[in-house]
Amino acid sequence: MAATALAAGAGAVAGTQSAQGPPGPAASLELWLNKATDPSMSEQDWSAIQNFCEQVNTDPNGPTHAPWLLAHKIQSPQEKEALYALTVLEMCMNHCGEKFHSEVAKFRFLNELIKVLSPKYLGSWATEKVKGRVIEILFSWTVWFPEDIKIRDAYQMLKKQGIIKQDPKLPVDKILPPPSPWPKSSIFDADEEKSKLLTRLLKSNHPEDLQAAVLKVAVVYGITPF
C-alpha cells in the first residue's frame, strides 16, 4: 500500500513536470528524496542523495522543509525506506550547512527520532535495525557536536528511561566527523608564482626543500608543523 502511494505520488509529480514545466523547489526536494529512499532499489541512489543535498542548499526554504520530509521517511513502516532516509539525514547533517543543522538539533525534530525508539509511539513495531541506526546516529552526534545541548539531553533522556541500554560502538569511519572543507583561498589558487614554487619544492629530492614546503602550507592553514 505504502509503495503504491509512493509510486502514485511520484507519478503525480512527473505528470506535473511534463504538463507545466520543471517542478518547483519543494517538489524537487520530494522528488529527489523519493529517489534516494526508494525501497525497491537494492542499493541506495547516491546521485539522488547528492541532488537532494544540493537542493536543500539552494532552496531558501530547503533547510527548514527537508527535515520534515526526512522525518516522514524515517518513520516509514518499510525498513529499507527508513534506513535509506537515515543515511540521507546523516549526509545532510554533514553537508547542508548551519541552518539545516540547527533545525535538526531542535527538540521539535529530535522528538520525531525519539518516536521511532519509544514503545509508546512507533518503537513497538519499528525494526531493531532501524532503531539501532537511530541510536547510532544520535550517539555519533553527541560525539561530533558536543555544543548541541539538546541532542545530548535527548540522548541522555533516552538512556535514563532505559530505551537506550548502552552506547553503541561506532564504526571506525564514524568515530570522527567529516573533514572540514579546504579554505576558499587555497595556497595553490591565491598566487600562481607561489604555487609553482611550492610544486617544485614538493617534487624536490632535497630534505630542506620538502621542509620549506611543509612550513609554507602550515603558515597558510594555521597548522603547527611537527
Task: Annotate 6-29 with DSSP letters as a single string.
Answer: HHHHHHHHHHHHHHHSS--HHHHH
208 and 136 housed in the same domain: no
Return the C-alpha cell found at 139.
Answer: 550517539
pLDDT tens by residue, 131-152: 999 999 999 999 889 999 999 9
75 and 157 housed in the same domain: yes
The CATH number assigned to the domain holding 206 equals 1.20.5
What is the structure's pLDDT at 170? 77
Q: Could you tell me the sign of the dihedral formed by the alpha carbons of 82, 54, 148, 146, in that order?
A: positive
165 and 189 housed in the same domain: no
The answer to whether residue 20 sits within a structural domain is: no
pLDDT tens by residue, 61-111: 999 999 999 999 999 999 999 999 999 999 999 899 999 999 999 999 999
The answer to whether residue 4 sits within a structural domain is: no
Residue 13 CB-density burial (10 A; 0-12 exposed, 13-18 middle, 19+ buried): middle
The answer to whether residue 12 sits within a structural domain is: no
Count the domains in the chain. 2
In order, the DSSP letters of 138-162 are HHHHHHH-TT-HHHHHHHHHHHHTT
3-state secondary structure 187-211: HHHHCHHHHHHHHHHHHCCCHHHHH
The answer to whether residue 2 sits within a structural domain is: no
Return the C-alpha cell found at 218.
Answer: 602550515
Buried b (16+ CB within 10 A) or exposed e, 25-51: eeebbbbbbbbbbbbeeeebbeebbeb
The answer to whether residue 191 sits within a structural domain is: yes
71 and 159 housed in the same domain: yes
190 and 94 housed in the same domain: no
What global pTM score does this model have? 0.68
Domain coverage including residue 30: 25-179
User: Cα(174)–Cα(171) distance, rounded to whole angstroms?
Assistant: 5
The CATH number assigned to the domain holding 135 equals 1.25.40.90
What is the structure's pLDDT at 27? 87
The answer to whether residue 36 sits within a structural domain is: yes
User: Cα(134)–Cα(36) distance, rounded to whole angstroms?
Assistant: 18
When mean pLDDT is compared over 175-179, 193-197, 216-220, the highest value belongs to 193-197
The answer to whether residue 112 sits within a structural domain is: yes
Return the C-alpha cell found at 162.
Answer: 532505559
